[in-house]
Amino acid sequence: MHVLQRGQAPQKPLLLRPLFGGVQRIGMRSETTTTLRDAGRSKPGPVMPGVQMVMAVEVLRVLPDGSARYRFTLEEVDLLVAARTPVRTMEAARAQLSPLPGLKGEGQVAPNGRSSGFEWKLPADLPAPVRGQMQQMAGMLKDLGTFLPAEPVGVGARWEEQAAGSGALTGANTRVELRSLDGQSVGLRLQMETPRTPQPVPASLRPPPGEKGEASMHTEAKGHGGCLLSLDRLWPVRLEMDVESHVAVRAGTPDAPKRFDGFTTSRLQVRELSFTPPRLRATRTV
């Protein structure tokens, strides 16, 4: 984390102070569209349904250093089906999602919002494809941090964070601006970009052994969005992020060159559906 500008006075430390026993219910929507460009001609890529989920996060304990241990429960999962989505694709995706509601995991978050780990408690008989998807989701949940600065800041402050990332988000650099600060409420503007990064080329695109040719693939991405935090919560109250990624493939032989580009637009939306403070929960259970 590198603070570029500390902003206006008064400046204060931005630290999460989660409430032991508090439960936050979150709704998340993720949608993706793809365009392919080959020989200068563009066409829509494969239509994939988006996903919407409802999740509950309960603070299990708050440690002396301010870190919070939490339990995560995936309550609901469903598809956001686009008009051109093939029926078989939709049915296959729904079949893969069917074991997911009710799954639980645990993680830990530091006061600056950084996750120090998230692990699912997956049943032993979970199918391998679904298990792989859940491990990918665990990585996403681990990275869905509220990247808060390490020093006191005021409105107008700017800082940046570089993460390892993977795939199109390798080496992502996120620049954050503090747009508003009112009590526990923190409003942030987010801008993200990655450098042009080489990626492994699939074997099917490489020239046959012994033939001259090339095989290269690069990715880059840019994104922007906004985030509203409440410092007594672990997850954002509201978050929107649009990411545009570009994959450029240059492969094949001089007689059979392969030159194509893929452009993917992903939109992530997070909304807090409800928050139950510990005192209110205790009252309801009497």
| Higher-scoring residue by pLDDT: 155, 123 | 155
Q: Map out the domains of the chain as residue ranges.
A: 2-276
Q: What is the mean pLDDT of residues 157-171?
A: 72
Q: How many CB atoms lie within 10 A of CB 103?
A: 19
Do residues 162 and 215 make contact, with C-beta atoms less than 8 angstroms apart? Answer: no
Name the CA radius of gyration of the chain, rounded. Answer: 22
pLDDT value at residue 170: 61
* Nearest CA-CA partner of 241 in 255, 222, 258: 222
Residue 182, pLDDT > 90, answer yes
> Rounded to an integer, what distance in angstroms lies between the CA atom of residue 124 and that of residue 35?
38
Do residues 187 and 226 make contact, with C-beta atoms less than 8 angstroms apart? Answer: yes
pLDDT value at residue 286: 40
pLDDT value at residue 284: 44
Residues ≥6 apart with Cβ < 8 Å to 252? 205, 207, 213, 214, 215, 258, 259
Q: What is the mean pLDDT of residues 261-284?
A: 83
pLDDT value at residue 244: 94
Q: What is the mean pLDDT of residues 199-221?
A: 88
Provide the mean pLDDT of the chain: 85
Helical spans, DSSP H, in 176-222: none
Q: What percent of the chain has pLDDT over 70?
A: 87
Would you place residue 283 in the very low, low, confident or very high pLDDT band (cuts 50, 70, 90)? very low
The phi, psi pair for 203, rounded to 5°, reads -60, -35
| Higher-scoring residue by pLDDT: 190, 135 | 190
Do residues 263 and 35 make contact, with C-beta atoms less than 8 angstroms apart? Answer: yes
> Rounded to an integer, what distance in angstroms lies between the CA atom of residue 242 and that of residue 285?
41
pTM here is: 0.83
Q: What is the mean pLDDT of residues 75-104?
A: 78
> Rounded to an integer, what distance in angstroms lies between the CA atom of residue 53 and that of residue 235?
15
Do residues 175 and 160 make contact, with C-beta atoms less than 8 angstroms apart? Answer: yes
Q: What is the mean pLDDT of residues 44-73?
A: 89
Q: Where are the beta strands (DSSP E) in the chain?
A: 2-5, 23-38, 41-44, 50-62, 68-80, 104-109, 115-121, 158-162, 173-182, 185-193, 197-198, 214-230, 238-252, 257-276
Residues in a beta bridge with 179: none
Q: What is the mean pLDDT of residues 252-264?
A: 88
Fold of 2-276: Lipovitellin-phosvitin complex; beta-sheet shell regions (2.30.230)
Please tell me which of 126-135, 143-152, 235-244 the model is most confident about, judged by mean pLDDT: 235-244
pLDDT value at residue 84: 67
Least confident stretch, 113-127, 162-176, 178-192: 162-176
Pairing verdict, β 23-38 and 41-44:
antiparallel
